[in-house]
Amino acid sequence: MVDQKKFKYETSLKALLLSVVKQAQADGIITADEGELINSIQIDAREFEEEIAKAIKAGKTTMKEIFVASKDKMIQNATDTARKDGKITEEEEAIINKLVRELENIDIE
């Protein structure tokens, strides 16, 4: 039987990644900086999935605790990546804002 909690957050992460890519495409162009930002978000999402798998295996913490820590890390890393060149463009800010909104919509029980 499929673990509904696992399926729920995996589906949410896929939707999150698709959503930030669509946001980057909104102006018809994904710049190198936007691509780097999306890649950073994707890496953090994968790390979140790995942390969940480790925690479930060890039985030490809840998915919600990991999600809260991972959410903050994803937002900070995205902001740091966007700021790497000394400025955050309107498009990068829109991607980060989309990330924040999507993370707020993920329901981890």
CA dist., res. 94 & res. 96, Å (int): 5
Q: Which value, to the nearest 10 degrees, does the dihedral of the CA atoms of residues 29, 31, 35, 37 take?
A: -110
CA dist., res. 42 & res. 60, Å (int): 25
pLDDT, position 53: 78
Residue 87 structural domain: 4-105
How crowded is residue 45: how many other Cβ atoms within 10 Å of its Cβ?
Answer: 21
Q: What is the pLDDT of residues 21-39, one digit of tens each?
A: 999 999 999 999 999 999 9
Find all residues with CB under 8 Å of 9, minimum gap 6, and list them: 52, 63, 67, 106, 108
| Number of structural domains in the chain | 1
What average pLDDT score do residues 52-61 get? Answer: 76
**Is-contact 101 60, C-beta < 8 A?**
no
